[in-house]
C-alpha cells in the first residue's frame, strides 16, 4: 500500500474539478488509461467523490467454496472489506467486468456510508440498485444485477493491486468520481494534479463564458497569445478566483 496520505487541501481541490480535466492533466504525463471504462454513477450527486483506494478482488466462483454459509465467517473478504475500509477511502472492487452477479447490495453499502467511507466502485453490478442510488454515498457500477455475488464471484483478496474497468488500481491511489464517471490518479501525482487542475478548471470556465458570448476558440483554447491570458487574469480578478 502507498505511504501517501491524501491531505484535506488536495481533497478539497479535487472536489472542484471534473474527470475530463483530470484526464487531460494525466495525458500530459503520458497516462492515457486512467478513466474506468463502462463504470457509471447510480445517481447524480452534487459533489465529487474523492478518496484513496481500498481494494477488494473477486475471482470466478467455485461452487463448493462459495455457499451462503461463507457469510457467517467475519473474515470473509467481502464482509471484512466493508468493515476495514478506512473512513475517507473509496472501496474499489475488481469484479472482472462481469455484472451477471452483484458485487454488493444496499445493506453493505449502507454500512460503508455509516462508517464514513467516501464512495464505492465496481466494474460489475450492484443489487438493490434503486436503494443504493438513494443513499448519500457516491456509488458507481456497470449495471444493476440482482443475483448474489456468490453466484459468480468469489471474494479472495483485500487491499492488493487490482484491475477495475480496464484500469490498474493500486491501494492508496486517489480516485475522483463525478457524474461522468471515475478516474484514478497515481498517489505520487495527486498533489500536483490537484493544483494543476484547479488552474485548468478556472481557465476552462473563462473559455466557456467567452465562447457562449460569441468568441471563437481559435487562439483562445488553447491560448496562443498574451491577449487571452491577460483577459483571463482580469476575469479571475473580477470573479475572485
* Radius of gyration from C-alpha coordinates of the chain: 20
Compute the average pLDDT of residues 13-28: 98
Q: Is 127 annotated as a binding residue?
A: yes
Q: Confidence band (pLDDT; 50, 70, 90) for 20?
A: very high
For 32-61, write each residue's pLDDT tens digit.
999 999 999 999 999 999 999 999 999 999
What average pLDDT score do residues 132-148 get? 97
Q: Is the pTM of this model over 0.85?
A: yes
pLDDT classification of 103: cutoffs 50, 70, 90: very high
Q: Is residue 137 part of an annotated ligand binding site?
A: no
Annotated binding-site residue? 128: yes
- Any binding-site annotation on 226? no
Q: Note the pLDDT of residue 2.
A: 79
| Mean pLDDT taken over the chain | 96
What digits encode the pLDDT tens for the residues 150-177? 999 999 999 999 999 999 999 999 999 9
- Structural domain boundaries in the chain: 8-189, 193-239
Mean pLDDT along residues 17-42: 98
Name residue, grid cell 455475488. Answer: 149
Q: What angle do CA 76, 78, 82 make, to 5 degrees?
A: 115
Q: How confident is the model at residue 72 (pLDDT cuts 50, 70, 90)?
A: confident
- The yes-or-no verdict on residue 1 having pLDDT over 70 is no
User: Which of 63-67, 96-100, 202-206, 229-233 has the weakest average pLDDT?
Assistant: 63-67
109 known member of a binding site: no
**Any binding-site annotation on 56?**
no
The third-level CATH classification (topology) of the domain covering 8-189 is Glucose Oxidase; domain 1 (3.50.30)
Buried residues in 150-159 as b, exposed as e (16+ CB within 10 A): bebbbbeebb
Q: Which SS3 state, helix, strand or coil, does residue 220 take? A: strand
Residue 137 DSSP code: S
Q: Is 8 helix (H, G, I), strand (E, B) or coil?
A: helix
Amino acid at each position: 500500500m502507498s505511504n501517501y496520505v491524501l491531505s484535506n487541501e488536495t481533497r478539497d481541490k479535487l472536489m472542484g474539478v471534473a474527470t475530463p480535466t483530470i484526464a487531460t492533466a494525466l495525458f500530459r504525463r503520458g497516462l492515457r488509461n486512467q478513466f474506468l471504462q463502462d463504470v457509471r454513477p447510480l445517481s447524480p450527486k452534487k459533489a465529487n467523490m474523492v478518496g484513496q483506494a481500498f481494494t477488494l478482488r473477486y475471482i470466478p466462483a467455485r461452487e463448493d467454496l462459495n455457499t451462503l454459509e461463507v457469510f457467517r465467517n467475519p473474515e470473509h473478504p467481502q464482509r471484512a472489506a466493508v468493515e476495514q475500509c478506512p473512513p475517507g477511502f473509496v472501496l474499489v472492487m475488481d469484479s472482472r467486468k462481469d455484472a451477471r452477479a452483484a458485487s454488493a447490495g444496499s445493506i453493505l453499502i449502507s454500512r460503508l456510508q455509516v462508517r464514513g467511507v467516501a464512495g464505492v466502485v465496481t466494474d460489475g453490478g450492484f443489487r438493490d440498485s434503486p436503494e443504493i442510488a438513494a443513499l448519500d454515498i457516491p456509488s458507481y457500477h456497470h449495471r444493476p444485477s440482482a443475483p448474489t455475488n456468490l453466484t459468480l464471484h468469489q471474494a479472495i483478496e483485500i487491499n492488493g493491486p487490482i484491475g477495475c474497468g480496464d484500469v490498474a488500481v493500486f491501494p492508496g491511489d486517489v480516485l475522483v468520481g463525478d457524474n461522468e464517471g471515475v478516474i484514478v490518479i497515481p498517489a505520487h501525482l495527486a498533489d500536483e494534479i490537484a493544483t494543476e487542475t484547479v488552474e485548468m478548471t478556472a481557465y476552462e470556465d473563462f473559455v466557456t463564458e467567452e465562447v457562449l458570448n460569441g468568441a471563437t476558440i481559435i487562439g483562445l483554447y488553447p491560448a496562443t497569445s498574451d491577449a487571452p491570458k491577460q483577459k483571463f487574469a482580469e476575469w479571475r480578478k473580477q470573479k475572485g478566483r
